Amino acid sequence: MAEKKSDSTFNLFVYGTLVSPAVFQTVLGKRLVTHADQADGKTIFHAVRAYLNGYKKISPDNTYMYAVADKGHRMSGYLICDLPVSCLPALKHYEGRNYSRKTVNVETKFGREKAMVFVGNLKQLEHSFGYEFRDSLKQEILLEKKIDAVIRETEEEQLHTNEDLTRRAVTELSGTRIRDIIRHHFASGGISDYVIRHSLKDQPIPDYSRIRNEPALAMLAANYLRMVIRQVIFNQFEEKIRREFRFELDHLPQSEAIYERVISSLVALRILNRNRTTLDVVVADSLGDLDFKSGHLVDYVRRAIVAADALYDPKPIQAHLDFVRAHMGFGHIPMGAELEFSNIGHSVIQDRDGAALSDWVYDGFLYFYDFGLDRLTWKLGGHIDNHREKAPGLPRRGFFEVALGNLSIEANISKPITRDPWVLNQLIHQTRDFYDIQPHSIHLSMQLRHQRLPNKNRLLPLPVLKCLFAIGGDPTCDEKGVMHIKRLRPGEILQCGPKPGILFSEISLRRSGEAENPYLPSGHGQEGLFVQQFRFMRLSKHLNYEAIIMGLKGIQLSLRPGTLLTPMQYHKLPRHREIFNELLAWGEHPTAISRQDIDGFLSHVQEGLMTERRGKPAHNQAYIAWSISQLSEMIRRFNELLENHAQKSETAKPKKQR
């Protein structure tokens, strides 16, 4: 960075189309790069990432981005240093009357720099576009009108109908594309009508015609269609709640960084799960009214929308919202969860070709995409995961995974669910209850601030690992009457070959939005946030994940474990190998956890929770005490389970063996 700037040069902060090297060269005749070693000091200018406080990007014309003042926001862009003043006329001409020039301070990794920026000319923008350009809700309404117009065209061209019910069905089956359009619009400050049109019209409306005559579908079709109908009813409920109770939802204490459909989804799930008998009857009637062989997927979606309209009652919703509001209690760390379902457990991964098929309900979700379920389950982050690939593609067997808060499986974009352990626990259990599929496992994740980042190879003490597996590792008595920790066995989180390992926890980078500057070369997008994901737990109706979440937060904050235990760590790190072997031996023949080890575990939890928010507790101390008490009770019940099992085993022995 230049320490002193001459009158013949200036710094420029860019955030819109000028971020594109092609546009920059067209406007100024100079090449733009983002690596210092590519700049030659002649006609090549180096851009570095920078942030401008007190402004946000908007795009009222869905084409160009404008910076407008907003105290609660900051916007990112790039700082270009030492441009010659001879560039100013070309810049003024390019920006036009909708922009005005300002001098501002921007923050870079080198420190604060003074720069010129072209911001939106408010008076001119209001004259050109009206006042709605400053209102995100009005932007949503305008965008929805554009999307609805294209959906209408799609319906007329592909289905040759023009009716509201069918249009709503096409909208459901275009769910992921509409989601992406809305996300792109608000992430980048606008999206063109051309992109909207082609995103919605370039591919046919999903249908199961490819598999209509497959012999296996005679048995499986009703199961898939039952899932379709239930999912559409949920989607319709969630959308109605978001529209009709927008004011109440907007005034809940949720951060903008949190997935915006959390509370509306939770309320919809609570209502549908409480009326399961009625829902099952409605689904059965819907299936009975249509014929799989002669019908189409859109017909079942239409029927589900009719059922949703008949079932929906706004009266109890306010009570559910009040219930949620009364129980919310926020912490500081953003959190999320992924839920895995499979009727045959890990066998669906071991037998990807279905050679030993035993899932007679969904055949490992082989036909998930044929029934448009990737388009329909998006609000809860539904997809198929075969532990090799998650992105939509060719049909494949795997777990049905609900990645709550996922914004795009393809782009690997997600938002945290909440900062509140109670809300996350509620959403986990309500989601598990909603799907008529055997629950398998759960991954709990939390965002980590840079000052909290652990060493990637930092181990947890063996007593702490034992306590965690005692709580969430599914202690089970096998067919031979032997007690073991099921999650520590092959076919669960234990990797046996070619190198041993345990899928216990993993630190990774996650993004909550697209690259902020899509014109830049690949690799210059948004870097993402560090996330610690704990992957060792069973998904069970018997577990109180609220207390477990508090325990994991405390352990992460106090001990800062890294990724463990990977095959590479097992191979290269003797202490990891030692802990691995000791943990597996204990898992095969678990023994009671001593009072000393329990107290040590709980003290680590408390230590971490007391420093969650910048060295201070984020939750009130009574709630922390309750959480620690619950964890202690869970371990006590584990020890009691072992003791009762030992007594039964001793009683069952023949007298000569005693």
In tens, the pLDDT along 46-57 reads 899 999 999 988
CA distances (Å), 453 to each of 459, 556, 557, 643, 656, in order?
Answer: 14, 9, 9, 39, 57
The number of residues in the chain equals 658
More confident residue, 429 or 646: 429
Give the DSSP letter of residue 134: G
Residue 92 has pLDDT above 60, yes or no: yes
Peptide linkage before 475 cis (omega within 30 of 0): no
Task: Please count the CA atoms within 13 angstroms of the CA of 599 that sit on its side-chain side.
Answer: 3
More confident residue, 59 or 130: 59
Residue 14, beta-bridge partner list:
78
Dihedral (CA of 505, 507, 508, 509) sign? positive
CA–CA distance, 287 with 299 (Å, rounded to integer): 10
Two structure tokens written together for 471: 């709580």
Give the DSSP letter of residue 544: -
Give the three-state DSSP class for 67: strand
Helix (H) or strand (E) holding 502: strand 501-502
Two structure tokens written together for 15: 């955030």
Exposure string of 491-504, with b = 16+ CB inside 10 Å and e = fewer, is ebbbbeeeebbbbb
What average pLDDT does the chain have?
Answer: 88
Residue 389 has pLDDT above 90, yes or no: no
Name the nearest CA neighbour of 116 among 10, 4, 32: 10
What are 486-517's pLDDT values in tens digits?
999 988 999 877 789 999 999 988 777 654 44
pLDDT reported for residue 514: 59
Residue 613, beta-bridge partner list:
616
Give the three-state DSSP class for 479: coil
pLDDT reported for residue 524: 40
Give the DSSP letter of residue 457: T
Which of 282-296, 383-397, 432-446, 473-487 is predicted with the least confidence, judged by mean pLDDT? Answer: 383-397
Name the nearest CA neighbour of 26 among 39, 16, 17, 35: 17
Which of 68-77, 186-195, 239-248, 401-410 is predicted with the least confidence, judged by mean pLDDT? Answer: 186-195
Q: φ, ψ for residue 103 (rounded to 5)?
A: -105, 125
Which of 21-25, 99-103, 510-514, 627-631 is predicted with the least confidence, judged by mean pLDDT? Answer: 510-514
Number of neighbouring beta carbons within 10 Å of residue 516: 20
CA–CA distance, 534 with 532 (Å, rounded to integer): 7
Q: 32-41, 189-198, 268-277: which has the highest mean pLDDT?
A: 268-277
Two structure tokens written together for 203: 């591919």
Concatenated DSSP letters of 384-446:
EE-SS--SS-S----EEEEEETEEETTTTEE---BS-HHHHHHHHHHHHHHS-S-EEEEEEEE
Q: Which residues, other chains included, contact 198 with Cβ-Cβ below 8 Å and sequence gap of 6+?
A: none
pLDDT reported for residue 509: 81
| Axis-axis angle for helices 595-609, 545-559 (nearest 10) | 80
pLDDT reported for residue 95: 85
Name the nearest CA neighbour of 168 among 137, 147, 185: 147
Give the three-state DSSP class for 508: strand
Name the nearest CA neighbour of 420 among 335, 537, 319: 335
Helix (H) or strand (E) holding 369: none
Q: φ, ψ for residue 225 (rounded to 5)?
A: -70, -30
CA–CA distance, 171 with 494 (Å, rounded to integer): 42
For the purposes of burial, counting CB atoms within 10 Å of the CB of 527, is it exposed (0-12), middle (13-18) or buried (19 or more)?
exposed
Give the DSSP letter of residue 4: S
**Which amino acid is located at 329 in the chain?**
G
What are 106-129's pLDDT values in tens digits?
999 989 999 999 998 877 776 666
Q: Which residues, other chains included, contact 617 with Cβ-Cβ below 8 Å and sequence gap of 6+?
A: 609, 610, 611, 624
pLDDT reported for residue 402: 97
Give the DSSP letter of residue 644: H
Name the nearest CA neighbour of 472 among 399, 398, 566, 555: 555
Give the three-state DSSP class for 601: helix
**Which amino acid is located at 322 in the chain?**
D
